[in-house]
Amino acid sequence: MLRYDINNRGENNYIRLLTSIIVMQISTVQTRQFQWGFAEYMYISRDVTVKNLHFKKDCHTSYHYHRNRKELLTIASGSFLIYTLDKTGERIQATKVVAGNTVLIYPREAHQIVALEDGIITETTEDYSEHDTVRIQLTKCVHDQQALVD
């Protein structure tokens, strides 16, 4: 079921403000390479993790979900398609997001991000753990399947 809101004025604005405050406190940046680009771990604490995800055009994440954590995605640059299941839970749909948009993805909400151009997404999460991710489809992009674009 599609349960995230683009530009939710309440929780997303609060988390965006929190992200900007945290990012100002950066001292050491760690990076990790991925097939779609790389992640800069800007801030890591027991409670919050902030990453800048640098995507290459036409690349995508795996189709996956997180068992316990919410992710706030703030589109810093570029444009992306975010694939999720529609409200019936039966059909994949795509939502286009661009710089300035924010998306809140809830636990157990399967999703995949496809870069339409080079771009950066700032991801803010609580209770971050690599073991929280469940990969549904590693290599095939749901972008290759039929989908609706909002």
Domain of residue 94, CATH code: 2.60.120.10
Most confident among 29-33, 53-57, 125-129 (mean pLDDT): 53-57
| pLDDT, greater one: 41 or 140 | 41
The Cα 147–Cα 95 span in angstroms is 10
For residues 4 and 57, the model is more confident at 57
Q: Is residue 1 part of a domain?
A: no
Question: In total, how many domains does the chain have?
Answer: 1
Q: What does the pLDDT look like over 72-119, one tens digit per residue? A: 999 999 999 999 876 666 668 889 999 999 999 999 898 999 999 999
Question: Mean of the pLDDT values across residues 8-17?
Answer: 54
Provide long-range contacts, Cβ within 8 A and 24+ apart, for 143-147. 143/60, 143/81, 143/83, 143/94, 143/112, 143/114, 145/92, 146/92, 147/83, 147/91, 147/92, 147/93, 147/94
* Structural domain that includes position 141: 11-149
Looking at residue 139, its pLDDT comes to: 56
Q: Is 6 within the bounds of a domain?
A: no
Average pLDDT over residues 136-141: 63
pLDDT at site 89: 63
